[in-house]
């Protein structure tokens, strides 16, 4: 810990910085501009939250992307056969570790926040977005779907709106995302807005009480979430990736061409 109370560690393309003498952590995707969520980053974020679970004085975690964008999403090559079998469980483990930490989590979103990036942001308790933010779940365009978003977006924005986002693959601007509940606050500097919120509302509180309040506020949701993620993962791994169109869509994206669907 330095004299300013900051400690910085970087691993797997993720930078973790302790602020306010360790009471707030900043977890940053540190491979701009795309900040692709590959398996290494997923494991690094999971490890950060495993550590966070043991930090008794920790009162909030801020997640953001370094550079102009939050994240373009999860690695497309890691969605292909031979790799998705490991990637999908690794991705979902990251969210389980976030749940296990039982700490308030804030997201600061700039630029593009797509696919797995939006799943990560929307899993947080409060989302702050810049006016230029673009948010969406474009997986369906590639012939696949977003298991985590399928489960958590209905909780955040209601089923009808979540289905619009997941089934259409369209991208929402910050204003529309705020209007439908995907974003909680728009700010020119979302990082400072999120940190200001944490300093006002979390720093004066007991870290122990905050953790218990987090657990209590999501107690029924947590149980439903774990079960639903397991089923969504099964649908993805066992059924979706057995179709020709899923592989075609991902391959076409990599080859920068239009997919040729066989509807099978």
How many residues are listed for the chain in this entry?
A: 264
* pTM of the shown model: 0.95
In a domain, 198, yes or no: no
In a domain, 236, yes or no: yes
What's the structural domain count of the chain?
1
Query: What residue numbers bound the domain in which 24 lies?
Result: 1-190+210-264
In a domain, 18, yes or no: yes
Assign residue 238 the CATH number of its domain: 3.90.226.10
| Per-residue pLDDT tens digits for 207-250 | 999 999 999 998 888 989 999 999 999 999 999 999 999 999 99
The rounded distance, in Å, linking the Cα atoms of 89 and 239 is: 15
The pair of three-digit structure tokens given for residue 132, joined into one six-digit string:
């230029």
In a domain, 81, yes or no: yes
Pairing of strands 105-109, 171-173: unpaired
The rounded distance, in Å, linking the Cα atoms of 4 and 257 is: 51
In a domain, 123, yes or no: yes
pLDDT band at 4 (very low <50, low <70, confident <90, very high): very low
Alpha helices in the chain (DSSP H): 39-54, 84-101, 116-122, 147-157, 159-168, 174-179, 190-201, 207-217, 219-234, 244-254
In a domain, 199, yes or no: no
| Per-residue pLDDT tens digits for 186-202 | 999 999 999 999 999 99
Candidates 36, 29, 3; CA nearest to 115 is 36
In a domain, 31, yes or no: yes
């Amino acid at each position: 810990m330095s004299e300013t109370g900051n400690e910085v560690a970087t691993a797997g393309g993720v930078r973790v910085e302790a602020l306010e003498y360790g009471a707030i952590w900043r977890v940053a995707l540190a491979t701009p501009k795309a900040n692709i969520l590959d398996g290494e980053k997923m494991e690094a974020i999971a490890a950060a939250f495993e550590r966070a679970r043991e930090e008794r004085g920790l009162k909030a975690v801020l997640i953001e992307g370094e550079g102009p964008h939050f994240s373009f999403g999860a690695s497309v090559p890691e969605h292909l056969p031979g790799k998705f079998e490991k990637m999908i469980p690794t991705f979902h483990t990251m969210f389980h570790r976030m749940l296990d930490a039982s700490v308030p989590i804030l997201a600061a979103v700039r630029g593009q926040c797509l696919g797995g990036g939006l799943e990560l942001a929307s899993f947080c308790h409060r989302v702050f977005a810049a006016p230029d933010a673009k948010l969406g779940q474009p997986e369906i365009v590639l012939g696949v779907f977003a298991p985590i978003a399928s489960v958590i977006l209905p909780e955040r924005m209601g089923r009808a709106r979540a289905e619009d986002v997941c089934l259409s693959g369209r991208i929402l601007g910050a204003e529309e995302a705020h209007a439908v509940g995907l974003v909680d606050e728009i700010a020119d500097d979302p990082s400072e807005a999120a940190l200001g919120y944490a300093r006002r509302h979390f720093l004066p509180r007991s870290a122990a009480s905050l953790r218990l309040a987090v657990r209590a506020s999501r107690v029924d949701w947590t149980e439903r979430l774990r079960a639903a993620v397991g089923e969504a993962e099964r649908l993805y791994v066992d059924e979706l990736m057995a179709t020709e169109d899923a592989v075609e869509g991902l391959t076409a994206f990599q080859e920068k061409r239009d997919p040729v669907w066989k509807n099978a």
